[in-house]
Amino acid sequence: MLKWKIPEIGDIEEIQCIVGRTGAKGSDVSAVNIFLLREKYNIRIAIEEGFLFRSYTGNRLPGRNGIAFPLGDGDIEGAVERLENDRKERGHSVKYIFLTEEQKEWLAGYHRMEQEAFATDEGNTDYLYTAEHLALLSGKKNHKKKNRVLHFKRLYPEYELSFVCPENFHMLTKDIIAVEEEWFALQEERIDSSFVERLEIYDACKFFDKLGLFGAVMYIDEMPAAMTLASEISPGNFDIHFEKCYGEYADAGGFAMINQAFAEYLYEEYNAEWINREEDIGLPGLRRAKLSYHPDLMLGKYHSVIC
């Protein structure tokens, strides 16, 4: 049987190495998400013979309870066999989730399954944009977003941006938390997910350097007004974990401003190729916001019960 465990901060480097070699773009394989969401999605991992195995339980969202396809180099057939035998020996069904198109095709061939045996849920689809797209906001389709950025700059010409990295995080993470606190205080309806996300942001700031995070804080009159946090999933592929702006700054286009500025930073300083703004989990408002940036790639994820 596989030796499952709760993801720990000491596992991050090994997870990042395994995932990095795959060139993956999905938010679910982000080492940072695997760690930060460990309690929310009851994530368990096993790292054996160069492969990363993942299990998710206790989630009410469709397509998010089960096992993920093994990630790693080497004997993939042997890794799948070990994973499926583990499920059977423990008396669990073999239910795959977060399958990419390629992983779905592999399993269909391996188990001689029809394509109809695989399902997908729109709420689990990742929204991906080229870094150049978000950084430049060129062309007609991005006209409204670019105008929002220009409007913000006209209203707050003295705005300042500080980019957070492992070298300066001790100084700036307190301002990331300050933005979260202001945003949280202004929420009229505080749903459970807001409290959970708050703890995730605290965790991200606590382990900023060990998680290898990148971030930015925007200041107006020396007060933190917006923040964002991201990580590199694999070379050139970045994931936006959090993005917050509040009050009048949000109304004036603060989200568009920090989104564009941070994308430009990742594009110019870290050779970012793709930026993943994650899924919308079926929320109409979130879906509209992500679609308003005209994604360059919709990364669907499939699920299926093998036996």
Question: What is the pLDDT at residue 189?
Answer: 73
132 assigned to some structural domain: yes
The DSSP code for 240 is: E
Question: What is the pLDDT at residue 19?
Answer: 98
Amino acid at 11: D
Contacts for 166 with CB less than 8 Å, ≥ 6 apart: 208, 209, 212, 213
> Per-residue confidence at 59, pLDDT binned at 50, 70, 90?
confident
* Of 86, 104, 125, the domain-final residue: 125
pTM of the complete model? 0.95
Question: What is the pLDDT at residue 191?
Answer: 67
The DSSP code for 122 is: G
Say whether both 172 and 198 belong to one domain.
Answer: yes
198 assigned to some structural domain: yes
Say whether both 134 and 254 belong to one domain.
Answer: yes
Say whether both 13 and 97 belong to one domain.
Answer: yes
What does the alpha-carbon distance between residue 74 and residue 81 come to, in Å, rounded to a whole number? 13
Tens of pLDDT, residues 189-236: 766 778 899 999 999 999 999 999 999 999 999 999 999 999 999 999
In the chain, the number of structural domains is 2
Question: What is the pLDDT at residue 195?
Answer: 86
Q: Are strands 66-68 and 95-99 parallel, antiparallel or unpaired?
A: parallel
CA 124 from chain centre, in angstroms, equals: 11
What does the alpha-carbon distance between residue 275 and residue 290 come to, in Å, rounded to a whole number? 12
Question: What is the pLDDT at residue 178?
Answer: 97
What does the alpha-carbon distance between residue 265 and residue 270 come to, in Å, rounded to a whole number? 8
Phi, psi (5° rounding) for residue 127?
-100, 115
Say whether both 113 and 150 belong to one domain.
Answer: no
Say whether both 110 and 199 belong to one domain.
Answer: no
Whether residue 51 contacts residue 28, with contact meaning beta carbons closer than 8 Å, is answered with no
Residue 152: CATH number of its domain: 3.40.630.30
Tokens, residue 287: 């879906």
* Of 110, 125, 140, the domain-final residue: 125
Say whether both 146 and 269 belong to one domain.
Answer: yes
Q: Is 25 helix (H, G, I), strand (E, B) or coil?
A: coil
Domain that holds residue 93: 9-125
What does the alpha-carbon distance between residue 278 and residue 51 come to, in Å, rounded to a whole number? 24
% of the chain at pLDDT higher than 70: 99
Tens of pLDDT, residues 17-56: 999 999 999 999 999 999 999 999 999 999 999 999 999 9
Whether residue 274 contacts residue 127, with contact meaning beta carbons closer than 8 Å, is answered with no
> Per-residue confidence at 58, pLDDT binned at 50, 70, 90?
confident
Say whether both 28 and 70 belong to one domain.
Answer: yes
CA atoms within 13 A of residue 206's CA, in its CB half-sphere: 9
